[in-house]
Structure 1
Amino acid sequence: MAAELFGTVTDQSGVPLPFATLYVLNTTKGTTTNIEGRYSLDLPPGQYELVYQYVGYKKQQIPLKVDHRRILLNVVLEPEVLQLEEVVVKAGGPDPAYAVIREAMAKRKYHQEEVNAYKCKVYVKGMQTLDEKPDQVLGVNIALDTGIVYLSESVSELSIARPDKIKEVMISSKVSGSNSAFSYNQGSQMLISFYDNLMTFPGLSERGFVSPIAQNALLFYDYKLEGTMMEGGLLVNKIRVIPKRKNDPAFEGFIYIIEDAWRIYSVDLKLTKAHQIEFLDEVNVYQVYAPVQDGIWMLFSQRFTYYLNVFGFRGNGNFVGIHSEYEIEPNYELVETKKADQIQLFPNGYFDNEILKIENKANKRDAKYWEEVRPIPLTKVEKIDYWWKDSLQHMMEAKPYKDSIDKVSNKFNFQNLFIGGYVYQQSYKERYFRFQPIYDILQYNTVEGAVVNLKASYVQEKERIWKYQVTPTLRYGFSSEDFYYKAQFSYQFNPIKRTRAYVEGGQFVSQYNASDPISPLINSFETLVNRRNYMKLYEKSFAKLHYSSEVVNGVTWKSTLEYAHRTELQNTADYSFFYQDDRLFAPNAPSNDELNKEGKNTSFGHSRALVFTTNFYIKFGQKYISRPDMKFNLDSKYPTIFVQYRKAIPVTNSYSDANFDEVVMRVYQGANYGLFGSGNYTVWAGTFFNTDKMDFMDYRHFTGNQSIFAKFGQDHYQLLDYYQYSTNGAWLGVHVDHHFNGFILNKFPLIRKTKAQVVASVNYLHTSVSGHYIEYGVGLEHLFKVLRLDFYGAMQDGSSYGYGLRAGLGF
C-alpha cells in the first residue's frame, strides 16, 4: 500500500516556491508544488532518491526510506550558485554563451529524433481568473462573474510516434461547477518542444516563434552566459536569451543547457505584447526535463501562465502539465541498443484520425479518485471553488435560478436594435426566440422600394442531443405593394454525425445568384447613396427539402430537392439620396455577355423547375476529437475536395420544363509557411453537359463584387461584375491568398502598433466569354483587430478591366 509524502517547498526566507518540481531519481514519477508551495506524492514502500528543483534555485537530492506511514518533508531550496571564474572572456570577443548555443543547435535534430515513439500519463490542471470585466461588449450582457471563471483537471494517456502521430485518451475529467461537462484541457496541445525550429500557438499568434536553439536562431537572438552550476554531477549552463529586435518572433528569458550532452535541462521564457501576441499582455513558459532511460531525457513538467487585458477584461491564468509513467521506443538508428532489446512500442495501425477520445465516464469520477490521482494538491481557493460551485450546481440548474438569470439577460436595450439582434431565452426549457437587428428589418431596393423584412426564429434544444428551429419570414415592399412570406422548419440530431434536415417553402424574392453575392444592407447603401442597384431579384413560389450528414469521417453528404415557380420582376422605385440627375438605375434584368453574344437576354417571364442538388465534401486525413456526446472535426494538412451534381428534372410543361445537368469540383487547401506567413488556394471547375432548357438563374454564377464593401471568401472575386460572365458552359476558377502575418510590417514601428498585417491575393476566371480574367490585390488586415482594406486591379486577356479599393472584415 502506498504512503503519502507531503510537505512544502520554500526558499530560505520561508517564501513558498510555486510549481517547484519533485521527482524520483531515474524515474518520471513525481509532481510539482501548487501555487502555495505545497506538494503531495504517493510512494509504495522502498528506498528512494528524491529530486527537488526550481528554476533559479539549486537542485536538492534527498534520500528517503518510505514505509506505510505518511511522511512530512518540508524542503528549503537555496538560490542557484553560478560560477563564472573558470570562463575566459576575451575583450571584444563573443560571449561564451554562443559556443554553448552552437553546440546545442548542432545536437538539436539528434535530440528531436532520438525517440521514435513514447506513451505516458499526463495530468493537466487549468485555472483562469477574472479581476475586472465590462458589463457589456458590443451590446451583449456579460454574465461572467469575477474570480475563478474556469477550473478544471484532467488525466490522459498520451501516445506519440514520430513525426506527427498522436493519440490521446482522456480517462478522467473534472470541471468546477459542472459534473456533466468535459474538460477542455488537452495534453497533446501542451506539447511545445524547443527542439523544433518554430513553435506555433494557435489563437495566440498567427505566426510562429523561433526557438532559442533553432537552426536560424542566431538571426533572432543575442545570448549571454549568466553562469554554470553543478546539478547531480552535471554541468548546466544558464543562458539568457535576448531578442535581437524588440518585436522579433522570439522569446526572452533563460534556457538551461547541459554541458557535453548539449540537451535542454529546463526553460524559463516569456512572450510579451512586443512580440505581437494577440489579446494577452504576457505569456510565460516553464519546462523541466528529467532522465528516463539510457541517457534520454523527456519533458517532466510544463507550465504556462498568462495575463489578460483586452476589451475591458483583466485577469490571469495558468495551465500545468505533469508527464509521468513514460514508456519509450528509442530511435535505434541513433541510440545504440542491443538487437534483442529493441521493441516496437505501438502495433501497426494503432494510430488513426482520432487524436483525442474522451471516455464515457471520464466526468463521473468521485472525490476519492481525484485525491488518489491528483499530483498537485489543491489550494484553499481551488477547494473553495470546487465546493462552492458544485454545491451551487443543482441550484443553478433549477428553474428559479435560470429564470432569474433570464430576467436580466432578456432586458431589451438600445444596442439590440443595431448589433446582433434581440434574443429572448427560457434557459430552463432550453427555448430561445431570436429577432434580427434593424439593418436586416429595414431594406431598400429598386424592385420593391422601401422594404420591411420581419424574420424571427424559435429554437428548442435538448442537452445538445437534438435541436429544432422554426423560422418564419414576412416581407412587404411599399413601392411594389407585394407581400411575401416563407418559413423553414429544421431539425438537427445525431451530434456525432451532425445530421440536419429541413423543409422550407413560401413565396419570396431571391437573387439570381442563389449564393447572395451582395447583402441587403450593402445594396441598400449603394442604392440610396450611390444610386447603383446591384441586387437583381426575381420572385419564386417554392418548396424545398434538405438533408445533410457525415457519412464516414471526412465525408459529408448534402442534398436538396426544390420545386419553384419563378416570375420575372421589374423595377418599381426610382428614389435615391444623391445623383438623381446624373445616373439612371440599371434594369432589374441582369446583363450577361454570353447571352448578349448569342443575341439573347436574361428575360424569362415565368418558368417552373424541379432541381435536385447533391454535394460531397471530402476532407482527406481529417483528424477529430470524440466525446461521448459529440464529435469535433479538425483541419487536415491534405486538400479538401468538393463535388457537386445539379440536375433539373423535366416533368411536363405544366409542372417543370427545366432540363439541365451540371457537375462541379473544387479543391481547397491551406498551408502554414512558418515565419513567412500562411496561405490557401482554391481551384474549382465545372461544366454543363446538358442545357436543353434553363433560365438565367440556373446558370453558374460567380461571387463578384462591385461595391467598396467586400466579403473576403475562398471563392470571391473583388472587381468582377455580378452577372457579366455567368455561364452555362465550362469554366475554371483559381483563388490564391497569402497572409504575411507580420513578416513585413513588423519591421515598421508605427505601423506595427496597429497590429496590421499584409495580405496578397490573386483570382482567376476562365469562361468561353471572359477569356483570361485575372485579379491581383494587396492590402492590410487586422486593422483595429477586425478590419481589412485591399487595393485590387484586374485584367482581361491582357487589357485593363478596372481597379478599386475594397473594405471588409479581416480578423
Structure 2
Amino acid sequence: MNDFQAVVDLAITKAPNHAAQIRHLQFDVEITEKGRFDRFPYVGKQRLQKLEGIKIGQWYGKQTNSHVYLGAMNQMIHHVKSVQGNQIKYPRPTLFFWSDFYQDFVGTQCVSPLNFHARSYYQYTFKQTFQLQGQAVYQFTVTPKMKTDRLFSGILTLSQEGMFVGFDGSVESDAIDYRIHIQNQYKYESWLPRIANFNVRGGVLGITGEYEIEENVQGEIQFWQPRVHEFENSNKINEVLNISERAFDETYVSQLLANLHQGLIRKWKQRPQSALQAVDSVIIEPVQQKQALHSAFFPAPLDSSSIAYFDTLRKSPFRLDQLIFSKSFYFGKKRADFYPFEIYYKSPVFDSNFNTVEGFVSNAALVFRKRWARYHWLETEVLGRRSFGLNRNTGYIKLRYKTENFDISASQGDYVAQYNPDNTISPEMNSLSTLLLKNNQMKIYRKQYWNISMLKRFSSRLFMKASAESAFRSQMDNSTGYHWVNYLNRTFSSNNPTNDESIKEGFDNHQSFITQFTLGFRPFLTQSYLNSTRQSDWGSSPLIQIKYRAGWPEVFGSQVDFQMLEFSYVQNLALSPWVKSGFILNSGTFFGRSPEYFLDYKHFNGGLNLIQTGDMLASHRLVGYYQNFTSGANQRLNVNHYAYSTSGTYLEALSQFQFSNLWLKPILGTKKAYVKELLIANAVYLPKQKLFYQELGYGLDGVIKVLRLEAIANFSNGQFNYIGFRVNINSRIRIGNIPE
C-alpha cells in the first residue's frame, strides 16, 4: 500500500468493527503490579510507617496468575490460579484488562489515536514499514496538534488492514504521566494481546510516587466457545451502595493505589461503544499453586521490616495517652474483616470549638457496637457536651441499626442545632473566623428533642430518606465578646438573624413537630458486572431529588404549621476531555401556610470561609454563611448570612466549568496540567423579596498545587454590588454523584 496515510484512515474508520470481531478466546496471563512513594509529608510519613507498614522508597506489589476466558473485549471470566504479594501481607487478585485504541476515549478520559475525529487532534507522520510475524505492519509517529493534556504522543503500529498492533509513547492526565508500551501478536487473522506495560508517575498535595502494571500473555491463545448463558446477568444481583463509607474505611495507600488502577482501566473495561455491558466473573482456586515471582519486576526490599499489611483493625495494648485521640477498642474473635464487638472513644481534644453563645465548648462520646458484618451493626452512642461559658452540660443518647442499604436511628437529648441542618457550618471554621476575624457566622438554638431518621437504598438508582422530630426549641443569645484579634474593630452580629421577610429578632420558645421525606432517583445510570455484583458509573446519570418538609400543628403539642416541596437536579459530567462541568438546580415553594418561625425558612448554602475545603459547587460564593475578602466599604461589614432565607417560592441555580486551558493560563504561559481554570455562574430568584441575585466568577484551581483562587462579581436585580476574592483549598469537580 503506497498511500501510507490510508492505513491510518482505514484504522480510524474500522476501529469499532475490529473491536467487535475479537471474541471467544482463552489464554493464560501473568499480571504484575507495584507502587512506591518517593515523597510524603512528614506527619503522613509517620502514620504510613506506624499504621500501614509503608516506607518511603520501598516497592510494594503483587503478582496474579490467571486463565482468562474472553467472550468479548469487556466480558471475561478470570480463573485465578495464584496471587502473591511482594512486601504486601494481604494481596488481592488483579484482573486482566484488554488495552487497545479501538475506542474513542481510553484510560482516564484520554483521546484515542483511533478516535473517530482523531485527525482533528493528531498529526500522523509515516515512520517505517516492516514484517512482524510474517505480516506487513506500518509505524507512524503520533503528535498532538495542540498543547494540552490527555493527548497521546509516541509510535503507533498498525497492520495493513488497520488493526492495532502496538504503541510506545506517553500521555499526561491531571499532572499524572503515563508511559505506555503495548505489543500485540498475530493469531487467527487478528492482532491479540501479548504484553502491555503502564508506568505511572506523578504527585498531588506534596505526595509523589510511581506505579507500574504489566500484563504478559503466556503460551498459546486458543478459541473458546462460551455456553449460551455464560455472560447473562445473574438472577441474584448484589450492589455495593455504601460507596462513601467504604472509601472512608480504606487505608490511605490501598485507596490511592486502587484509584490509580481503576482510573487507568475504567474506559478500557466499560467500552460504551460496544453496546455490551461490562462483565467480569472471578473464580479463585481454593488451593493456589505458587508461581515464581517475576524477580526482574520486583526490586529487592529496603529491609525485612518493609511489609505493607493494610490492617485497619490492629489491636494494641491500652495506654493512657490513647485517650488524647479518638480510638476504637476491639473485642472478641476477629472475623475476616471485623471484630464482633467494638467500643469507640471520641476524644474531646479534636471536638472542641468556640462560639459567641456558649463560649468554649467540648464534646466527648462513647459508642458501643455489636457487628454481624463489616457494615452491619447495632450501636449505642452516648455523647456529652460541656459549655464552659454557660456552665452547662448537655448531650444526647442515640440508638442506631445499619446495614449496607438500610440505616435507622433514634435519638433523644438536650443539644444545640444550627438554623440550616441540611448543610451546617463547620464549628471549627466558625471558631477561627470568630476568634480571628470577629465574624460569628454560626447561628444556633437549643432543642430538647427526640428524633427518628431512616435511610433506605433500594438500588444504585433509587434511595429514600425520612425523618420525624419533636423538639422544644429555645432562643439562645450571645454571651461573650471574647476574641483574639480585633479585626476592623467589628461588632459581633446577633445570634438571632433577620432579613426583609423576617424583621423580628429572636423567637418565642415553642414546641415543634417536623417531618421530612426525600426521594432520590438516577434514571440513566450505566452499570457493569463483577461476578454477581452490579457496579455503577456515577457520572452517567443526573441525580433527581424530591423533598417534602412539613411542620404539623398540635401533633405532640406542636406550634409550627408549614408545608414545603422542593425539586433538585444535580449533574456532574465531562463535556470533553478538557472541560468538566457541574450543575445544581433547586426549585421549591411553601404551600398552605408559610412558616411562622425563621428557623423553618428555606436557608441557602452559602460559600464557605476564607479557606474552603468542602464541595465548591454546592454553594454560592458570596451569599450565605461566611465572610469573604471583598472590595470597598463592604469589607468592613459582617455579611447577613441569612439575607436571602425565604418563606416563599425560590429558584436556585449553581454551575461551574473547569477548563484545562481557557484565557489566563495560556497568556501566563502556565503549562502545568494540574492548574485548571474555572468559570462560575450562580443565581437565585426570590419572588417574595423581588430579588434576582447573580454571581459571575473566574478562578484558578491548583495554584502551588494546593490552592484555588477565585474572583467573584455579584449583582442584585442587574445592579453590580462588589467583587469578592477567595482563597480556597484545591478541589476538583468530582464526576459522579455518590449515593446517599
TM-score (norm 2): 0.75
User: Alignment partner of 2:15: what SS?
Assistant: helix
Q: CA deviation at 1:702?
A: 0.8
Q: 1:627 to 1:256 in 2, by over 3 A?
A: closer
Percent identity (aligned) = 18
Letter in 2 for 1:572: S
Q: 1:550 to 1:565 in 2, by over 3 A?
A: same
Following the alignment from structure 2 to structure 1, what is the Cα–Cα distance between the partners of residues 397 and 647? 31
Alignment partner for residue 144 of structure 1, among 44, 50, 53?
A: 53
Matched, 1:263 2:163: yes
Following the alignment from structure 1 to structure 2, what is the Cα–Cα distance between the partners of residues 358 and 432? 38
Alignment partner for residue 619 of structure 1, among 477, 500, 522?
A: 522
Partner residue in 2 for 1:59: none
- Contact 1:289–1:298 (Cα < 8 Å) also in 2: yes
- Contact 2:238–2:533 (Cα < 8 Å) also in 1: no
Alignment partner for residue 672 of structure 1, among 574, 591, 599?
A: 574
Q: 1:629 to 1:266 in 2, by over 3 A?
A: closer
Matched, 1:239 2:140: yes
- Contact 1:119–1:328 (Cα < 8 Å) also in 2: no
Following the alignment from structure 2 to structure 1, what is the Cα–Cα distance between the partners of residues 344 and 238? 38
Matched, 1:536 2:443: yes
- Contact 1:410–1:424 (Cα < 8 Å) also in 2: no
Partner residue in 2 for 1:783: 703
Partner residue in 2 for 1:433: 344
Letter in 1 for 2:346: F
Following the alignment from structure 2 to structure 1, what is the Cα–Cα distance between the partners of residues 488 and 701? 37
Following the alignment from structure 2 to structure 1, what is the Cα–Cα distance between the partners of residues 455 and 119? 52
Matched, 1:447 2:357: yes
Following the alignment from structure 2 to structure 1, what is the Cα–Cα distance between the partners of residues 426 and 520? 26
Alignment partner for residue 317 of structure 1, among 196, 212, 230?
A: 212
Q: 1:229 to 1:707 in 2, by over 3 A?
A: closer
Deviation track 1:117-144 (CA, whole Å, cap 9, x = no partner) reads: 7644575724214486768517634323
**Which range moved further: 312-321 or 723-732?**
312-321
- Contact 1:626–1:632 (Cα < 8 Å) also in 2: yes
User: Alignment partner of 2:538: what SS?
Assistant: coil
User: Alignment partner of 1:535: what SS?
Assistant: coil
Q: CA deviation at 1:182?
A: 9.0
Following the alignment from structure 2 to structure 1, what is the Cα–Cα distance between the partners of residues 531 and 107? 29
Partner residue in 2 for 1:586: 493
Deviation track 1:553-602 (CA, whole Å, cap 9, x = no partner) reads: 41112211211111111111112233378322221111122224xxxx25
Following the alignment from structure 2 to structure 1, what is the Cα–Cα distance between the partners of residues 67 and 155? 30
Partner residue in 1 for 2:327: 423
Q: CA deviation at 1:790?
A: 1.5
Letter in 1 for 2:182: Y
Partner residue in 2 for 1:305: 198
Q: 1:630 to 1:484 in 2, by over 3 A?
A: farther
Q: CA deviation at 1:692?
A: 6.2
Partner residue in 1 for 2:283: 362
Letter in 2 for 1:639: P
- Contact 1:611–1:648 (Cα < 8 Å) also in 2: yes
Partner residue in 1 for 2:605: 703
Alignment partner for residue 545 of structure 1, among 431, 452, 455?
A: 452
Matched, 1:806 2:726: yes
Matched, 1:741 2:684: no
- Contact 1:517–1:705 (Cα < 8 Å) also in 2: no
Q: CA deviation at 1:801?
A: 3.5
Q: CA deviation at 1:625?
A: 6.0
Following the alignment from structure 2 to structure 1, what is the Cα–Cα distance between the partners of residues 507 and 69? 64
Deviation track 1:190-240 (CA, whole Å, cap 9, x = no partner) reads: 454423444342xxxxxx433334455556555554422123553212233
For residues 681-720 of structure 1, the aligned pairs below 5 Å read 681-691=583-593, 694-705=596-607, 707-710=609-612, 711-720=614-623
Letter in 2 for 1:637: S
Deviation track 1:618-653 (CA, whole Å, cap 9, x = no partner) reads: 11233456668976543152222111122323335x
User: Alignment partner of 1:108: what SS?
Assistant: helix
Letter in 1 for 2:394: Y
Q: 1:733 to 1:240 in 2, by over 3 A?
A: same
Deviation track 1:397-427 (CA, whole Å, cap 9, x = no partner) reads: 9xxx999x544999969xx98xxx6434548
Letter in 1 for 2:694: I
Deviation track 1:247-295 (CA, whole Å, cap 9, x = no partner) reads: 6533233211223x23322222223xxx3554x5543241415454xx5
Following the alignment from structure 1 to structure 2, what is the Cα–Cα distance between the partners of residues 647 and 155? 58
Following the alignment from structure 1 to structure 2, what is the Cα–Cα distance between the partners of residues 402 and 441? 22
Q: 1:169 to 1:382 in 2, by over 3 A?
A: same
**Which range moved further: 126-135 or 581-590?**
126-135
- Contact 1:487–1:504 (Cα < 8 Å) also in 2: yes
Q: 1:808 to 1:147 in 2, by over 3 A?
A: same
Which structure carries more relative contact order (alpha carbon 8 Å, separation 6+)? Answer: 2
- Contact 1:510–1:540 (Cα < 8 Å) also in 2: yes
- Contact 1:267–1:288 (Cα < 8 Å) also in 2: no
Alignment partner for residue 8 of structure 2, among 80, 96, 104?
A: 104
Partner residue in 1 for 2:642: 723
Letter in 1 for 2:199: Y
Q: 1:283 to 1:467 in 2, by over 3 A?
A: farther
Matched, 1:212 2:108: no
Following the alignment from structure 2 to structure 1, what is the Cα–Cα distance between the partners of residues 645 and 441? 15
Q: CA deviation at 1:779?
A: 0.8
Deviation track 1:122-168 (CA, whole Å, cap 9, x = no partner) reads: 7572421448676851763432344434444555655559xxxx655
- Contact 1:303–1:321 (Cα < 8 Å) also in 2: yes
- Contact 1:119–1:158 (Cα < 8 Å) also in 2: yes
Matched, 1:771 2:686: no
Q: 1:299 to 1:759 in 2, by over 3 A?
A: farther
User: Alignment partner of 1:514: what SS?
Assistant: coil
Q: CA deviation at 1:518?
A: 2.4
TM-score (norm 1): 0.69
Q: CA deviation at 1:669?
A: 1.6
Matched, 1:254 2:155: yes
Letter in 1 for 2:13: K
Alignment partner for residue 31 of structure 2, among 102, 125, 136?
A: 125
Matched, 1:755 2:659: no
For residues 264-279 of structure 1, the aligned pairs below 5 Å read 264-271=164-171, 275-278=172-175
Q: 1:656 to 1:778 in 2, by over 3 A?
A: same
User: Alignment partner of 1:752: what SS?
Assistant: coil
- Contact 1:284–1:304 (Cα < 8 Å) also in 2: yes
Following the alignment from structure 1 to structure 2, what is the Cα–Cα distance between the partners of residues 265 and 518? 56
Following the alignment from structure 1 to structure 2, what is the Cα–Cα distance between the partners of residues 112 and 765? 45
- Contact 2:180–2:197 (Cα < 8 Å) also in 1: yes
Q: CA deviation at 1:480?
A: 2.6
The alignment's C-alpha RMSD in Å is: 4.4
Q: 1:115 to 1:661 in 2, by over 3 A?
A: same
Matched, 1:656 2:569: no
Following the alignment from structure 2 to structure 1, what is the Cα–Cα distance between the partners of residues 222 and 466? 49
Q: 1:470 to 1:246 in 2, by over 3 A?
A: same
- Contact 2:164–2:191 (Cα < 8 Å) also in 1: no
For residues 519-534 of structure 1, the aligned pairs below 5 Å read 519-534=426-441
User: Alignment partner of 2:670: what SS?
Assistant: helix
Alignment partner for residue 379 of structure 1, among 294, 297, 321?
A: 294
Q: 1:614 to 1:680 in 2, by over 3 A?
A: same
- Contact 1:677–1:743 (Cα < 8 Å) also in 2: no
Q: 1:214 to 1:651 in 2, by over 3 A?
A: same
Unaligned runs of 5+ in 1: 1-86, 88-95, 202-207, 330-343, 372-376
Count of residues paired in the alignment: 649
